Amino acid sequence: MEQYSQNLPAGQAGSEQKDAKLWAIAKKRAGFKRDLVTYIVINAFLWLIWLLGSKNQNYSGIPWPVWPTAGWGIAIIIQYFEAYRFSKEIAVEKEYEKLKQQQ
């Protein structure tokens, strides 16, 4: 990307870098959506296994699917914040602009 940007006229080099940043953000968001669907499908399957497997038993405890659902859920929440709230690209750009204004 760097080499390609250097060969463009001055006005186009910045827009190409912005497009690369948007592409990286779009990839993170698409990855999050894909992982969220996987999370929902797999956890629904785990809960179905638990429900069908414990139907004839008198079970009075914490269902075992709680643990993978909770652990994986924490990872999904972190991935959401990385994709939609606290993007590294946006944070770096803000910090750069702040340093630029201090000079």
Instruction: Please say if the pLDDT value at position 85 is more than 80.
Output: yes
In a domain, 50, yes or no: yes
- Overall domain count for the chain: 1
- Taking the mean position of all CA atoms in its chain, how far away is CA 51? 30
Q: Give residue-wise pLDDT tens across range 45-84.
A: 999 999 988 777 767 788 999 999 999 999 999 999 988 8
Q: Is the pTM of this model over 0.85?
A: no
**Which candidate, 50, 73, 72, 52, places its Cα nearest to that of 63?**
50
In a domain, 89, yes or no: yes
Q: Greater confidence, 88 or 23?
A: 23
Boundaries of domain holding 73 = 26-102
